[in-house]
C-alpha cells in the first residue's frame, strides 16, 4: 500500500478544514446540551436524574451511531457515511427546538447522537488515511482541535443567546450543519488508501473477527479501556460543568461565563499535544495528559474559591482535551485500511457506553446528596486506569504504517509456509 503523500498539501489542508468544520459543528451540538440542560432544569423543573438522563441519552445514540457508521464506512466509503451522519444529527438538532415534552426531546437527542457518534470516527479515519505517516498524528490532533472551537462556539451561543432568546433558538442554530453538508458533498473525497482496497471488501462479520483476531486483540483491548475511561470521565465532568457551577453557588449566567473561560483552555491543550505527539510519540502524550487530567479532576472537585475553581477548570480542559486529541490520532493507527473504520467505530461505540453512564451517574449521585468532591474522585480513578492501560498494554505507533505492517507479516507467514 503506497503512502498517502500523493495527495498535495493544498488538498490535505482543504480536507482538514472541511472535516474540521463538521467536527466543530458536532462539538457545538454536544456542548450546547450541557448549557441547555442547565436552562431546562429551571424552565421545566427537571430533577438531577432527569438532567443526567437527557445528557446520557445523547451518548446512547452516539454509541449506536459509532458502531454502525464505522462498519458502513468500511463497506461504502468514508465520504458518503460522513455526509449522511452530518445530515442526521443536524436535522434532529433543529427539530429539537420544537420539542414540547421531555420524552420527545430525549427521542430527538438520541437521533442527533446517532449522527454525532457516527460522524466522529469516520472523519478521523478519513483524515488519518489521507496524510503521510510522518504528519498523521499531528494532523488528526489538529482535526480534534476543531472540537474546542465548537465548544467555544456553544459557550458563546449559550452565554449570549439562551438567557435572552431561550434554549429553542440554540437548537435552531444547531441545524446549520445541514447546509454545510450540501457544500461538503462537492468538496470531500474518499482517501486513496480506501479507494485502492475497495474491491477487497470484507463482510461485517469478517471485519469484527479481524478486529478481535490474535494479531489485533491486544490493541483492541487497550483501545476499549482507553475509550471507555476517557469518554466516561469527559462526559461525566464536562456535560455537568454548568450545573456543577450552579451547585457551587453561582448564578446561571455567571456559570456560563466561567465555563466559557475554561473552554478556551482546550485550544492550547490540543496545540501542545499536536506538537508533542510527533516529537515524543502517542503513548507519551496519552499517559502524561491523562495523568495530569486526573490530578486536575481532584483539584476541581475540591476547589472552593472562584480563582481556584477557574484555575482547576482551565487545567482540566487543557489536559483532558489534549488527551482526546492523542486518542483520536492513536486509534486509527492500530488497524490496516480494510478494518480501520470498523475498529475505530467499535472502540468509540464502547467508549460511548461510558458516556451514557458518566452523566447519569453524576445525576444519581447529586440526587443522593453526594459531595462534588467525592464524585470527582470516581473520575480520577477512571482516568488513571486509562493511562495505565496505555502504559502497559499499548504499543507505540509513531512512524508506523499499519498497512505495510500487515503486508510484511503476511509475507513472513507466506515464507514460513513455503
108/299 Cα distance (integer angstroms): 35
Secondary structure (DSSP) of 255-283 = HHHHHHHHHHTHHHHHHHHHHHHHHT-HH
183/180 Cα distance (integer angstroms): 5
Secondary structure (DSSP) of 345-383 = HHHHHHHHHHHHHHHHHHHHHHHTT--HHHHHHHHHHHH
**pLDDT of res. 162:** 83
**pLDDT of res. 417:** 41
Contact indicator for 184, 122 with CB cutoff of 8 Å: no
Contact indicator for 331, 410 with CB cutoff of 8 Å: no
| Helical H segments across 188-249, by residue range | 192-197, 204-211, 217-238, 241-247
Q: What angle do CA 141, 143, 145 make, to 5 degrees?
A: 70
What are the residue boundaries of the structural domains of the chain, listed by start?
A: 4-188+203-417
34/109 Cα distance (integer angstroms): 12
**pLDDT of res. 323:** 96
218/272 Cα distance (integer angstroms): 28
How many alpha carbons fall within 13 Å on the CB side of residue 253?
Answer: 5
Residues 6+ apart with CB under 8 A from 414: none
Predicted TM-score (pTM) of the model is: 0.84
| Residue 101 DSSP code | S
- Closest by CA to 123, choosing from 167, 63, 156, 82, is 82
| pLDDT means over runs of 10, the chain (418 residues) | 57 87 86 80 82 80 92 88 89 91 93 91 89 88 88 82 86 83 76 71 86 95 98 86 73 70 86 94 97 96 83 93 94 92 94 87 86 92 98 93 69 47
**pLDDT of res. 200:** 61
Element holding 396 (H helix, E strand): none
**pLDDT of res. 363:** 81
| Residue 303 DSSP code | -
CA distances from 252 to 2, 40, 163, 172, 410 (A): 54, 11, 9, 21, 59
29/174 Cα distance (integer angstroms): 6
Cell of 238: 464536562
Q: Which CATH architecture has domain 4-188+203-417?
A: Up-down Bundle (1.20)
Crossing angle of helices 306-330/102-129, nearest 10°?
50
Coil, strand or helix: which one is 152? helix
Amino acid at each position: 500500500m503506497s503512502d498517502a503523500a500523493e495527495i498535495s498539501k493544498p488538498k490535505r489542508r482543504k480536507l482538514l478544514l472541511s472535516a474540521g468544520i463538521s467536527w466543530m459543528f458536532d462539538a457545538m451540538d454536544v456542548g450546547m446540551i450541557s448549557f441547555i440542560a442547565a436552562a431546562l432544569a429551571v424552565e421545566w423543573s427537571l430533577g438531577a436524574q432527569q438532567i443526567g438522563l437527557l445528557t446520557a441519552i445523547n451518548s446512547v445514540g452516539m454509541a449506536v451511531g459509532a458502531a454502525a457508521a464505522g462498519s458502513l464506512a468500511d463497506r461504502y466509503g468514508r465520504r458518503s457515511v460522513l455526509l449522511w451522519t452530518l445530515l442526521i444529527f443536524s436535522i434532529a438538532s433543529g427539530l429539537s427546538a420544537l420539542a414540547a415534552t421531555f420524552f420527545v426531546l430525549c427521542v430527538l437527542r438520541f437521533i442527533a447522537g446517532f449522527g454525532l457518534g457516527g460522524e466522529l470516527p469516520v472523519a478521523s479515519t478519513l483524515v488519518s488515511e489521507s496524510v503521510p505517516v510522518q504528519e498523521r498524528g499531528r494532523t488528526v490532533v489538529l482535526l480534534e482541535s476543531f472540537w474546542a472551537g465548537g465548544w467555544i462556539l456553544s459557550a458563546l451561543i449559550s452565554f449570549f443567546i439562551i438567557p435572552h432568546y431561550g434554549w429553542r433558538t440554540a437548537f435552531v442554530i444547531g441545524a446549520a450543519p445541514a447546509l454545510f453538508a450540501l457544500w461538503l458533498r462537492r468538496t470531500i473525497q474518499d482517501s486513496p488508501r480506501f479507494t485502492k482496497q475497495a474491491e477487497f471488501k470484507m463482510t461485517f462479520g469478517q471485519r469484527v473477527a479481524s478486529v478481535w483476531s490474535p494479531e489485533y486483540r491486544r490493541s483492541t483491548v487497550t483501545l476499549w479501556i482507553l475509550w471507555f475511561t476517557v469518554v466516561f470521565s469527559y462526559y461525566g465532568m464536562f456535560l455537568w460543568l454548568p450545573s456543577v457551577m450552579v451547585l457551587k453557588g453561582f448564578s446561571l449566567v455567571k456559570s456560563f461565563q466561567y465555563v466559557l473561560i475554561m473552554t478556551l483552555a482546550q485550544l492550547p491543550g490540543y496545540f501542545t499535544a499536536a506538537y508533542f505527539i510527533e516529537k515524543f510519540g502517542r503513548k507519551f502524550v496519552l499517559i502524561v495528559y491523562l495523568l495530569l487530567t486526573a490530578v486536575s479532576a481532584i483539584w476541581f472537585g475540591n476547589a472552593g474559591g472562584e480563582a481556584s475553581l477557574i484555575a482547576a477548570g482551565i487545567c482540566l480542559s487543557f489536559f483532558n482535551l489534549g488527551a482526546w486529541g492523542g486518542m483520536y490520532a492513536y486509534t486509527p493507527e492500530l488497524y490496516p485500511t480494510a478494518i480501520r473504520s470498523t475498529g475505530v467505530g467499535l472502540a468509540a461505540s464502547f467508549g460511548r457506553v461510558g458516556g451514557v453512564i458518566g452523566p447519569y451517574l453524576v445525576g444519581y449521585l447529586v440526587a443522593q446528596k453526594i459531595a462534588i468532591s467525592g464524585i470527582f474522585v470516581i473520575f480520577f480513578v477512571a482516568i488513571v486506569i486509562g493511562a495505565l492501560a496505555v502504559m502497559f498494554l499499548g504499543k507505540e505507533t509513531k512512524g508506523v504504517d499499519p498497512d505495510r505492517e500487515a503486508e510484511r507479516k503476511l509475507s513472513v507467514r507466506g515464507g514460513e509456509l513455503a
